[in-house]
Amino acid sequence: MTASYDADLYRTGAILDPYPHYRRLRDLGPVVWLNRHKCFALPRYAECKATLRDDQQFLSGDGVSLNMLANRLSKGTTLASDGDEHAERRKLVAHRMMPRALRSLGEAVDAQAAAVVDAAVAQGSIDGVELATALPLAIVPDLVGWPKDQREHLIEWGGATFDVLGPLNWQAIKAVPRALQMMRFARRVVRQRNVLAGSIIDELLTAADDGALKHSECPALMVDYIAPSLDTTISAISNALYLFGTHPEQWQLLKDDPDLIHAAVNEVVRYESPLRAFARQTRDHTEIAGTSIPAGSKVLVLYASANRDELAWDDPETFDIRRNAGAHVGFGNGAHACAGQGLARLETVAILRALVARVDRIEVTGEPVWAVNNIIRRHHSLPLKLIA
């Protein structure tokens, strides 16, 4: 008999402190029925990863949200597509996010990161979220092609596009107007072709001119790449600042051995995963870990819980940058793995490299406030002092 769980994983308290819920779910078993959300949840690593890698059985085309409204709004994105359709959409733009393509950005990202950290060190007391936001906001909109004079709402709009992807709770309902504003603006940008030359969307519009896709598909793809590329990176950087501020011994390890930076980014993403969870829908009747799952069922893949699974990680509640955490699922896995993760890694590495060279200690000087968002795990504010 499948274990069940009554608590609401998306109430404010569970969003702010989700880990006790994840632990209880893992203790209940590999598959747990969520009474509140009417879906099966996968809280353990092995089942999460296997499900993410089986995109023939576990589908995204009808949406990865637990609410039908958000799934309708997601139509036309790479997030909400399967098979050849997904592969074709992703191929049109994802090649610009691949490591080889991002290599050419390396020097510019490092220089911008150094400038961001220099300014923060000069200021002394800062909000870590502002530091975490500065680099992605300087890099991502140019790469995607968003108009330079229309960026003041990007962070709130991007957050809203994730918030609507939870269940149809008050959090999601409040986010709908801002998510729609972003989509309407993207349609206008595409219609007027007010995009930066040589950018991802400029390239996409050229492909549409050549008949590779419809022009009407371009706005959704524009939003599809800018929102995740901003939010996952801001999450990773702000979480890194918080973790190194609260684990000074780990910061000293990184100072003593900067070659650990890449491992540190993986451990940050494992320990505080930027993405909480996304859903899949079963194509046919199937089984997961011996549990019968009817065709058409919603299955919630809990990335953040999988990354703290005691069966997959030694001492998972400990933040340790010496750990080999490269197998985490913090950015998803399989065909639908976050397309912006390479950029998120590049920027987070650049910020840590700049901090290691300039900062002796990171001090958390006040009570951090976590953002309330159905999908993204990051801070709303993070009072810090950078001590050179």
Q: Which DSSP string corresponds to 266-280?
A: HHHHHHT-SB--EEE
In our burial notation (b when 16+ CB lie closer than 10 A, e otherwise), range 236-260 reads: bbbbbbbbbbebeebbebbbeeeeb
Instruction: Look up the CATH architecture of domain 3-387.
Output: Orthogonal Bundle (1.10)
Cβ atoms of residues 304 and 277 within 8 Å: yes
Q: What is the dihedral of CA 203, 223, 239, 30, to 10 degrees?
A: -110
Alpha carbon 241 to its chain's center: 17
What is the C-alpha to C-alpha distance for residues 323 and 304, in angstroms, rounded to an integer? 17
The contacts of residue 77 (CB under 8 Å, 6+ apart) are 89, 220, 221, 223, 224
CA 315 to chain centre: 24
Q: Which residues of the chain have pLDDT under 70?
A: none
To which residue do tokens 């085309």 refer?
Answer: 61
Distance CA 255, CA 359 (A): 9
What digits encode the pLDDT tens for the residues 341-384? 888 999 999 999 999 999 999 999 999 999 999 999 999 999 99
| Residue in 84, 363, 74 with CA at minimum distance from that of residue 219 | 74
Q: Which amino acid is at 1?
A: M
DSSP 363: E
Q: What is the structure's pLDDT at 285? A: 97
Contact 125, 383 (CB under 8 A): yes
> What burial class does residue 192 get, using C-beta atoms within 10 Å of its C-beta: 0-12 exposed, 13-18 middle, 19+ buried?
exposed
77-89 CB burial, b ≥16 within 10 A, e <16: bbbbbbeeebeeb
Q: Determine how many CB atoms are found less than 10 A away from the CB of residue 360.
A: 11
- Name residues whose C-beta falls within 8 Å of residue 28's C-beta, 6 or more positions apart in sequence: 3, 5, 43
Is this prediction's pTM over 0.85? yes
Residue 311, number of CB atoms within 10 A of its CB: 11
Q: Which residues pair with 293 in a beta bridge?
A: 286
Q: Which residues contact 94 (CB under 8 A, 6 or more apart)?
A: 78, 339
> Among candidates 243, 282, 285, 246, which has minimal Cα distance to 265?
243
Of 201, 190, 193, residue with least CA distance to 96: 201
How far CA 384 is from CA of 47, 91, 361, 381, in Å, comes to 38, 40, 10, 10
Residue 99: the pLDDT is 72
Residue 63, phi-psi category: left (phi > 0), alpha (psi -120 to 50), beta (remainder) = left
User: Angle at CA 333, nearest 5°, toward 87 and 322?
Assistant: 145
